[in-house]
Chain A
Amino acid sequence: MGKALKRQFLPWLFLLPTVLGFIVFSWYPIVLGLIVSLQKYHPIRPPQFVGLANFETLFSDPLFVTAWKNTVEFSLLSLLIGYLVPVVLAILVNEVRRGKSFYRIAYYLPAVLPGVVTAVLWRWLYDPGVGLLNTVIRVFGGQGLPWLMSADTVIPSLVFMATWAGFGSTTVVYLAALQGVPSELYEAAEIDGALVLQRLRYITLPQIRPVMLTMLILQIIGTFQVFTEPFVMTSGGPNNASLTILLLIYRYAFMYFDFGVAAAAGFILFVVLLLVTLTYFRVTARLEE
């Protein structure tokens, strides 16, 4: 018994810091989040159990609905504008015979910029008066758009910027996947006389489908947690038109100091994203069968 314990000493010494870290900063907060969501939790007063009152507060807050609506809109629009762009670009870049890495670097470049830099830069580009975008539009005889200043255009503007910032890294992943398609498949298809579009439909797309599915789920999860862009560029405005769910959580916690309601909103987000992930695993498992 003593000997077996001794043999366990070193392995567990190596493991212990990480295990403790996971317990304290990952597992325990998940439980604590649920507990706090059932409490009246103000930083300087002792917490008090209030049942589902925080959830009731949330559901009666019209901004909670607004935040979800905006978040879902941001996510769907990101998929609509940004999901297929990297796929198409990667397939096209993959055809380039010489200088492939030039395009790869050029498209990846925006992804290298820190998120805050991107947001501040685009706040300037979107300036309705002197910004670059309206200037270009006016050169072509247009009126210019209000961009971040109007409730109708703020979310599309944020999505457009986020697409610019993010498509390069996804393109690189697809490029790697395309490089992994065995060339024998193409050769066999050519011998059978398959045309370029047929090769695309029957070889390329099926081969990168698993990666496309992974990217879809990562993009949904990522866009549901959008914070930096609206925080830096619009603070959720104008008139809460770009208030996202994470921004609302931030407001409840660090502006109203109502951590209970913030934790409740976080718990709802947590459940939603977990469901998305689990659905993804279900679908991939079924596809693999």
Chain B
Amino acid sequence: MADIPGFPGDSIGRSEPTGRGLLSFQDFNRPRIRYGYVLLLLFLTTGAAITIFPFVWMFFSALKDSNEVFRIPPTLLPRSWQWSNFVKGWGEINLVRYFSNTIKIMAGTWFMAIIMPSLAAYSLSKMRPAFGNVVLLGFMATLMMPSQAYLIPRFLVLQKLPLIHVNLLDSYWALWLPAIVQPFNIMLLKNFFDRIPTELIESARIDGAAELRIFGQIVFPLSKPIIAVLSIFTINGVWNDFFWPMIVISTQAKQPIMVAVQLFSKGTSSMNVVMAVLFMVSVPPLVVFLVFQRFIIGGMTLGSLKG
């Protein structure tokens, strides 16, 4: 069932595209092109080394002792490898607490940013609600709105929800609830659902399946590629998020990881320990990237269709 041809998400995470570049095989018969190609590889490799170097520097700095990290001229490799800096950083910032805070935020955000938009997109795509087009337009128009520009009123809305006058500030609801505003996810999900043959849904309906079951057992499993991509981006986004949590969560013990890292970096800890913390909090996104590389790069391409 998963092999319906022409699915928009088919290419995600599978094979690499096989387009060609400017140079053809014949071009390589010319010596000038061949020398140029070697120069090109040299240039790209140097570029890659320079790009990666700050990251390597962070790792080595994390392993130096507190004197060596400030040494002039600096050493590249640590003279004695202080793995204990990682233990120290782990304890000093209280990584376990902020990690579990972030996981809590992630779980709720994922539900609001993936499940709710999926239900809405499914409704718009397959259930023909009255005024569906108006609703879709209302969703899509917000794609053009720069969200940071109305940060202040969004903050004020959370401080006093309209009609019910509840203050959500300093609770995770202030992060979870606004996460439902995902016009881009809705657009991609709806495009995906539109490609699922209506007959599939209709026949399930005739068999008496409830809509929520059709969604859960047919549509959702079929949409795994797109759900996976959007989930990775959502989870990464929560891990990296800083500005909005810093504003809406005022109790420091409730903050997610990046707010804690920012505060920690301005504290009194030594630079090698700070670097150890930076390295540790970079590991999860790095692992996610290396494992799901194909999905993420496929997702970036979806992103470029945004305009």
* A positions within 8 Å CB-CB of B: 8, 10-12, 14-15, 17-19, 21-22, 24-30, 32-33, 36, 41, 43, 89, 91-96, 101-110, 112-117, 120-125, 129-130, 132, 135, 138-139, 164, 168-169, 172-173, 176-181, 183, 186-187, 190, 196, 199-200, 204, 211, 213-215, 217-218, 221, 224-225, 227-228, 231-232, 246, 249-250, 253-254, 259, 262-263, 266-267, 269-270, 273-274, 277-278, 280, 284
CA distance A110 to B43 in the complex (A): 19
Instruction: Known A21-B180, A29-B153; judge A10-B127 contact (CB<8 A).
Output: yes
Q: Does B285 contact A (CB under 8 A)?
A: yes
Cβ contact within 8 Å between B155 and A253: yes
Number of interface residues of B (CB under 8 A): 97
* Closest A residue, CB atoms, query B18: A179
| CB pair B57 A132 closer than 8 Å | yes
- Given A25-B177, A95-B22, A18:B44 Cβ within 8 A: no
Residues of B within 8 A of A109 (CB): 51-52, 55, 286, 289
Question: B residues within 8 A CB of A168?
Answer: 51
Report B264-307 CB contacts with A as 1/0, cut-off 8 Å.
01000001001100100110011001100100010011011011
Find out whether the CB atom of B149 lies under 8 angstroms from the CB atom of A180: no
Extra contacts, 6 of them, besides A96-B40, A135-B72, A270-B150 (Cβ < 8 A), are A18-B117, A18-B139, A29-B157, A176-B301, A263-B152, A274-B146
Does B226 sit within 8 A of A, measured CB to CB?
no
The answer to whether B149 and A266 touch across the interface, beta carbons within 8 angstroms, is: yes
* B22 pairs with A22, CB closer than 8 A: no
Q: At the interface with chain A, which of B82-90, B93-101, B196-204, B237-245?
A: B237-245
Question: Do residues B16 and A101 form an inter-chain contact, with CB atoms below 8 A?
Answer: yes
**Which among A18, A24, A132, A284 has the highest number of chain B CB atoms within 10 Å?**
A18
- Determine the residue in chain B with the shortest Cβ distance to A175: B297
Q: Which residues of B contact A8 (CB under 8 A)?
A: 129-130
Q: Is the CB of B123 within 8 A of A15?
A: yes
Which of B33, B262, B293 is packed against the most chain A CB atoms within 10 Å?
Answer: B262
State A11–B303 Cα separation when bound (angstroms): 28
Q: Nearest CB to that of B44 among chain A residues?
A: A103
Give min CB distance, B158 to chain A, whole Å: 8
Contact yes or no, A132 B44, CB < 8 A: no
Given contacts A25-B180, A109-B55, A114-B285, contact A120 B265 (CB under 8 A): yes
Q: How many Å lie between the Cα of A129 and that of B72 in the bound state?
A: 9
B interface, CB within 8 angstroms of A: 16-24, 26-27, 33, 37, 40-41, 43-44, 47-48, 51-52, 54-55, 57-58, 61, 70-74, 112, 116-117, 119-120, 122-124, 127-130, 132, 135, 138-139, 142, 144-146, 148-157, 159, 161-162, 177-178, 180-181, 186, 211, 239-240, 242-243, 247, 258, 261-262, 265, 271, 274-275, 278, 281-282, 285-286, 289-290, 293, 297, 300-301, 303-304, 306-307
B282 to chain A: which residues have CB within 8 Å?
A: 112-114, 117
Nearest-CB distance from B11 to chain A (Å)? 10
Compute how far the CA of A181 lies from the CA of B21 in the bound complex, rounded to whole angstroms: 9
| Given A266-B151, A277-B144, A21:B178 Cβ within 8 A | yes
Task: Let me know if B74 and A132 touch, CB within 8 A.
Answer: yes
When distances are taken between beta carbons in the complex, the residues of chain B under 8 Å from A221 are 146
Instruction: Determine whether the beta carbon of A117 is less than 8 Å from that of B278.
Output: yes
State A232–B75 Cα separation when bound (angstroms): 27
User: In the complex, what residues of A have CB within 8 A of residue B144's CB?
Assistant: 274, 277-278
16 residue pairs of the A-B complex, CB under 8 angstroms, read: A12-B129, A14-B120, A15-B124, A19-B135, A25-B180, A27-B142, A36-B152, A91-B21, A106-B51, A113-B55, A114-B242, A116-B240, A132-B57, A173-B303, A180-B17, A246-B148
Asked whether B117 lies within 8 Å of A32 as measured between CB atoms, the reply is no
Most chain B CB atoms below 10 A, which of A132, A138, A176: A176
In Å, the complex CA distance between A14 and B186 comes to 13
Indicate whether A225 sits within 8 Å of B17 (C-beta atoms), given known contacts A18-B116, A105-B293. Answer: no
Give the complex CA separation of A215 and B135 in angstroms. Answer: 28
- Measured CA separation A28–B142 after assembly (Å): 12
Contact: B57 with A125, CB < 8 Å?
A: yes
Min CB distance B88 to A, Å, is 17
Residues of B within 8 A of A172 (CB): 297, 300-301
Complex CA distance for A231 and B240, rounded to whole angstroms? 15
A5: nearest chain-B partner, CB-CB: B130
The CA-CA distance from A274 to B146 in the complex, in Å, is 7
Beta-carbon contact of A122 and B48 below 8 Å: no
Q: Which of A169, A172, A227, A269 has the most CB of B within 10 A?
A: A172
Q: Which residues of B contact A227 (CB under 8 A)?
A: 148, 243
Within the assembled complex, what's the spacing in Å between the Cα atoms of A93 and B297? 15
Which one of B16, B152, B304 lies within 8 Å of A262 (CB-CB)?
Answer: B152
Among A25, A173, A177, which residue has its beta carbon within 8 angstroms of that of B178? A25
Which of A25, A217, A249 counts the most chain B CB atoms within 10 A? A25
Cα–Cα, bound, A114→B281 (Å): 8
Complex Cα distance A93/B48, Å? 11
Query: When the two chains form their complex, are residues B247 and A254 in contact, meaning their CB atoms are under 8 A apart?
Result: yes
Other-chain residue from B127, B154, B159, B242 in contact with A25 (beta carbon distance below 8 A): B154
Of A26, A186, A214, which is within 8 A of B307 by CB? A214
Bound Cα distance A112, B73 (Å): 30
